[in-house]
């Protein structure tokens, strides 16, 4: 099985893998404390395939990671009143509210629903957008790969950008940290606290945000 042939179950599990990607520290500490937990997956180097837990006879991920609930529908973005004295073009993340605000100016902002860090993985800080990528590749850092290798397992060096990639359609990189504002191939998880620190939007919303946010823009994350 090739990377492009990864099954839906595997794609969902790749997204779950990335949910453990970030850390509990502030953005400036994130690069050296990745805190990655491979849990119960396995990687087959011969086929370049991630084998999901169900194929190993182990427990599956929670039901919310297996597919959208019957009543799921996306939370639409909307223009709202916004009186925070931040310059237009700023990105303000309110993790408690599970909303991201793109400041339009003149007392207005565009509000998006987001997925945020689960309990114990919350963080707050101020930084800037350092890079933007369309259909970003996933390249786990060496520290993460070494950590996984110590368990007797392997982690792929590279997962190509595309619908199988847990980063989704776009990624906005926050400073020099491992945190990102990115899309997802599990849109039904948006609006929940289920990541390890990264900010997750639906692919439709992250594409819209991507066209608006400039490299160098201010990012403020509040709990």
Q: What is the pLDDT of residue 46?
A: 53
Among 30, 198, 209, 213, the active-site one is 198
Per the annotation, the verdict on 182 as an active-site residue is yes
- Using DSSP's 3-state secondary structure scheme, residue 5 falls into helix
**Which parts of the chain register pLDDT below 50?**
1-42, 47-65
Q: What is the pLDDT of residue 146?
A: 81
Q: What is the pLDDT of residue 72?
A: 78
Question: Look-up: residue for tokens 């060096």?
Answer: 157
Find out whether 80 and 109 touch, Cβ atoms under 8 Å. Answer: yes
Q: Classify residue 119 by burial, with Cβ atoms within 10 Å: 0-12, 13-18, 19+.
A: exposed
In tens, the pLDDT along 157-206 reads 887 888 878 789 999 999 998 889 999 888 998 988 887 678 999 999 99
Q: What is the pLDDT of residue 118?
A: 74
Query: Count of residues for the chain?
Result: 223
Would you tell me how many other CB atoms lie within 10 Å of the CB of residue 192?
15
Among 92, 182, 183, 186, the active-site one is 182
- Using DSSP's 3-state secondary structure scheme, residue 183 falls into coil
Q: What is the pLDDT of residue 81?
A: 97
Per the annotation, the verdict on 158 as an active-site residue is no
């Amino acid at each position: 099985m090739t990377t492009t042939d990864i099954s839906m179950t595997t794609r969902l599990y790749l997204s779950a893998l990335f949910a453990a990607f970030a850390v509990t520290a502030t953005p400036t500490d994130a690069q050296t404390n990745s805190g990655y937990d491979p849990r119960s997956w396995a990687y087959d180097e011969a086929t370049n395939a991630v084998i999901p837990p169900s194929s190993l006879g182990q427990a599956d991920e929670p039901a919310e990671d297996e597919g959208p609930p019957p009543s799921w529908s996306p939370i639409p973005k909307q223009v709202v009143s916004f009186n925070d004295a931040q310059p237009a073009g700023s990105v303000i993340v309110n993790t408690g509210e599970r909303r991201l605000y793109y400041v339009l100016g003149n007392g207005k902002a565009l509000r998006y629903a987001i997925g945020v860090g689960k309990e114990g993985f919350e963080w707050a800080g101020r930084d800037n957008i350092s890079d933007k990528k369309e259909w970003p590749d996933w390249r786990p850092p060496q520290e993460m790969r070494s950590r996984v290798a110590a368990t007797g397992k392997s982690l792929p060096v590279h997962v190509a950008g595309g619908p199988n990639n847990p980063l989704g359609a776009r990624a906005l990189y926050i400073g020099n940290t491992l945190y990102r504002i990115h899309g997802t191939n599990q849109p039904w998880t948006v609006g929940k606290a289920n990541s390890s620190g990264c900010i997750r939007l639906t692919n439709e919303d992250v594409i819209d945000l991507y066209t608006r946010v400039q490299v160098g823009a201010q990012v403020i994350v509040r709990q």
